[in-house]
């Protein structure tokens, strides 16, 4: 880890001189024609432009490629990579698409690498803000911001800001290489495993709440969110090594928020179902132990902060 990061060089006449580290972006995109132009406009408008932006079309059939090609024709640092169509859909496919782009930037000179979804938008100084955090903190390995969807931003009162959403995960290059990149797991949790591994290896990870990005693709209907989605979240919590005690408190906490008992009940049911079926864990025993220790430390702090003897209560 070094304190002295090389400065990026201007690549287009419209870009002001950059007093920041250089970065590359990779966007796995599958049928994002409805939203990807919002992402394209956001990146093109950045006060600090990337050295390279690889947009990997993962077998898109809806016109995504044509939109990207139009922008790539105007900006030489944007490149479209086409992956063949595939019938099977799973989260590992996103990693394979990302890696296809990653192979094309390995030889480039950059300090920061970002995984960026093709259905978000953000302010013009979004990456200048995030890169500034890396410059200010040499131990920072992964950074991002919350995302807002439908006017609602994720509630971080019970979730640690040390987790970084997969919608936009920005890595210091040394950190990304140290963790071995993304792990292609069909069941998901790819972004979580990357962030956990980074912390286990001694890097700091942080979601900076001062900014948000906008997520435009709706994540399922209200009915799906109430039942199947919460059940699936519980199932994934087990598969991704969540501590049982942590899960109980998470379920109780969820019961205090909409959809109240339904959400918390489905969450716990999903976890218990996966436990009863002895579902295979998606992370190593070492990483699971690390995660559970973190969860117990956070739970202890959470409960102590709300104990009756605190603050004269």
Can you give the pTM of this predicted structure? Answer: 0.86
**Of 28 and 2, more confident:** 28
> Quick one: pLDDT at residue 168?
96
Q: What is 23-215's CATH superfamily?
A: Spore Coat Polysaccharide Biosynthesis Protein SpsA; Chain A (3.90.550.10)
Highest mean pLDDT out of 55-64, 169-178, 220-229:
169-178
Angle at 206 between CA 46 and CA 210, to 5 degrees: 55
Which residues sit opposite 105 in a β-bridge? none
Mean pLDDT, residues 38-47 taken together: 98
Residues 22 and 49: beta-carbon distance below 8 Å: no
What are 257-297's pLDDT values in tens digits? Answer: 888 898 899 999 999 999 999 999 999 999 999 999 999 99
What are 81-119's pLDDT values in tens digits? Answer: 999 877 676 778 899 999 999 999 999 999 999 999 999
What are 166-183's pLDDT values in tens digits? Answer: 999 999 999 999 999 999
Q: Map out the domains of the chain as residue ranges.
A: 23-215, 222-307
> Quick one: pLDDT at residue 309?
63
Tokens for 278, please give them: 């002895």
The burial class, CB within 10 Å (0-12 / 13-18 / 19+), for 15 is middle
Q: How many CB atoms lie within 10 A of CB 129?
A: 17
d(Cα 50, Cα 76) in Å, to the nearest integer?
11
d(Cα 193, Cα 58) in Å, to the nearest integer?
22
**Of 13 and 51, more confident:** 51
């Amino acid at each position: 880890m070094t304190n002295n990061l090389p400065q990026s060089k201007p690549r287009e006449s419209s870009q002001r001189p950059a007093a920041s580290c250089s970065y590359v972006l990779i966007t796995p995109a599958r049928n994002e024609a409805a939203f990807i132009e919002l992402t394209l406009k956001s990146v093109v408008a950045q006060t600090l432009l990337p050295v390279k932006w690889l947009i990997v079309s993962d077998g898109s059939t809806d016109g995504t490629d044509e939109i990207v090609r139009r922008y790539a024709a105007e900006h030489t640092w944007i490149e479209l990579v086409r992956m063949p169509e595939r019938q099977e859909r799973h989260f590992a496919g996103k990693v394979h698409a990302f890696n296809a782009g990653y192979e094309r930037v390995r030889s480039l000179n950059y300090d920061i690498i970002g995984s960026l979804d093709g259905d978000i938008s953000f302010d013009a100084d979004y990456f200048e803000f995030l890169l500034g955090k890396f410059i200010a903190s040499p131990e920072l390995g992964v950074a991002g911001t919350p995302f807002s969807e439908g006017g609602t931003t994720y509630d971080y009162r019970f979730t640690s800001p040390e987790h970084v959403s997969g919608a936009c995960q920005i890595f210091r290059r040394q950190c990304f290489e140290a963790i071995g990149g993304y792990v292609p797991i069909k069941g998901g949790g790819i972004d979580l495993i990357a962030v956990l591994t980074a912390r286990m290896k001694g890097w700091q990870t942080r979601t900076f709440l001062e900014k948000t990005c906008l997520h435009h693709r709706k994540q399922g209907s209200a009915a799906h969110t109430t039942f199947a989605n919460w059940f699936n979240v519980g199932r994934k919590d087990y598969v991704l090594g969540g501590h049982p005690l942590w899960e109980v408190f998470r379920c109780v906490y969820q019961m205090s928020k909409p959809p109240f008992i339904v959400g918390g009940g489905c969450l716990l049911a999903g976890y218990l179902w996966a436990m009863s079926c002895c579902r295979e864990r998606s992370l190593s025993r070492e990483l699971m132990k690390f995660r559970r220790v973190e969860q117990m430390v956070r739970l202890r702090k959470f409960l102590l902060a709300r104990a009756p003897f605190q603050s004269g209560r």
